[in-house]
A and B are shown apart, each in its own frame.
Chain A
Amino acid sequence: MNSIERRLAIADLFADYVACLDGDRLESWLECFVEGCVYCIISRENLRLGLPLALLLCENKDMLRDRVVSLRAANEYRVHTDKHLVGSVRIKGPKEDAWAVEADYAMFQTDAEGNGSLYSFGTYESEVVFVEEAPKLRSHRVVVDNWNIPHMLSTPI
């Protein structure tokens, strides 16, 4: 793959990522990640204060799988559907063995009666690696700008 092909593939990865979430295909969403991935959702506030606490932290793909299984089988949460909008994917170029990528997102939620609201917005800060020519997330940090979480945080952002 040349550089242009890789850039297009990274943009596709982000499009697939949100399409899986919005389509409630969480098991397919897992395939956006490598085994040794880190996924976390963290408030802009904690980052600014230099505090390490996340809203959700998965330090490998098994923890991510556990999250999905728990959402499916154990957790109860607001009945909702999601819609993510992702802004321009800023590909900062290859850095050692990974590509540093950032993209702003907005996520809307709709309840069971069709009422919609802006649920979350912020920035994806990611490291993408290529595994057999396919781009995968090795690190994916969701920095939430509106960190007073409406209702609760259930399905991933």
Chain B
Amino acid sequence: MSLHVDWPRNDYSRVPYRLYHDPEVYALEQERIFKGPTWSYLCLEAEIPELGDYLTTWVGDTPVVANRGPDGAVYAFVNRCAHRGAAVCREARGNTRFHTCIYHRWSYDHAGKLRGIPFFRGIGGEGGMDEDFDMSRHGLRPLRVACFEGVVFGTFADTTEPIETYLGAVLRGHIGRLMSRPLRILGYQRQRIEGNWKLYLENLRDTYHASLLHEFLVTFGLDRATQKGGVEMDGRHRHNLTYAHVASDDEQAARAAYGRQRVRADSLTLRDPSLLEFRREYPDDRNLAISTVFPNAAFQQLNNSLATRQVQTKGIDGFDLVWTYFGYADDGEDMTAHRLRQANLFGPGGLVSMEDAEAIEIAHRSTRREDAETVVEVGGKGEISDRAYRVNDVPVRGFWSYYAELMGIEPEGAVR
């Protein structure tokens, strides 16, 4: 399968709307991106702490099981019986030594190796499998697994670079910072957004929108483009980190700047401001640090609300967004209560995140038959590089540059 895309510019400052709506594009993404040389986020190790713990998840459209083997290591395999294609694990999570398909009771171990077939030699010499049937050739397709600082990634490709190189220094630093102490899982949230998955990956890389769409952020000074902050990327510009420093701007000047843009910045006050309290818990004073890892994950800190986000594609027109909130195992009761309170900021009903779903859905809906392009040039065109300011969407172009490389659709003289 190959695809031809007419990029109006080689720096990805124009992206054809077709890429969000063409089913052929989607099919190729599944092959070249989700089954390509990328590391997909699977889960956190803290979700499967005991031997035999497992959970089901997705890499693109492919159902996947991650589990902890008898040796304590994490293994992953495709959740599709080698016999007739039924899902082997049907529960979202559990604990087991063997994974047995209900259809004909074929049974697999933690690594997906086929360990048992009922009536393998039939009954009384009649029925069963032929002599040449080789069980070792009918296992569940394994994924290579890499655990980095307690985060579990999986890949289908043999050629995927080591996870440390894949992430690069910026992401290693950010994930290491969030995972610096043993975790306590606080719970899950999930939402189905009716838009193409890439719209969300772009949204996460677009710091320009944050304080314009999310008025809650501006009004209460959680995140303003006037604050010290910016974006950093890995060498290949496929991942990014957006960050801001609390109280690094002047309240009056910030409100004036937003006032000039006709963005409401001071009309609200909270009767219970405990929601906004920031308890510094890292050596730096960043109150906002959200990173994205190509192709399916984000790692979030806003004040003391910590979570991972996983994108699960559900066809060209929709995706599930799964939020896994965590604190640290040594958090006191009061800190846990604080994090649970601050979880109000994010998730499907988040005071500062509910808008994203709406922005994605209205963009998706209105570009279906549009033979035009989206404009990506805030913070400049041309070179893709880090920015030490907030009003930019440069990492969106970084996303597309790596996307185009993997998809084999780079324009001539493509900027990387």
Q: Which residues of A are interface residues toward B (Cβ below 8 A)?
A: 41, 43, 45-46, 49, 51-60, 62-63, 65-67, 69-70, 73-78, 147-154
Contacts and interface: CB of A to CB of B under 8 A. Distances in A.
Contact of B189 (A53, A66, A70): A53
B275 A75 contact: no
Given A74-B268, A150-B192, A151-B357, A55 B348 contact: yes
Contacts of A154: 349, 354
A60 B189 CA distance: 22
Given A151-B357, A152-B358, A154-B349, A54 B340 contact: yes
B343 A73 contact: no
Nearest to A45: B188
B189 A77 contact: no
Interface stretch (B31-39, B163-171, B211-219, B406-414): B211-219
A74 B188 CA distance: 25
B220 to A, nearest CB: 9
Interface residues of B, number: 40
Contact of A51 (B186, B190, B320): B186
Interface string B328-372: 000000001000110110011101001101110100000000000
Given A54-B340, A151-B357, A75 B185 contact: no
8 contacts: A52-B340, A57-B343, A74-B351, A78-B357, A148-B190, A149-B191, A150-B191, A151-B194
Contact of B187 (A51, A58, A66, A70): A51
Given A53-B343, A78-B361, A149 B192 contact: yes
Contacts of B189: 43, 53, 55, 147, 149
Interface string B190-233: 11111000000000000000000101100100000000000000
Contacts of B193: 151-152
A76 B358 CA distance: 7
A97 B166 CA distance: 59
Interface of B: 92-93, 185-194, 213, 215-216, 219, 264, 267-268, 270-272, 275, 320, 325, 336, 340-341, 343-344, 347-349, 351, 354-355, 357-359, 361
Contacts of B186: 51-53
A56 B194 contact: no
B271 A62 contact: yes
A77 B358 contact: yes
B268 A153 contact: no
A75 B349 CA distance: 10
Given A54-B343, A77-B358, 5 more contacts: A51-B188, A70-B216, A73-B267, A76-B213, A153-B348
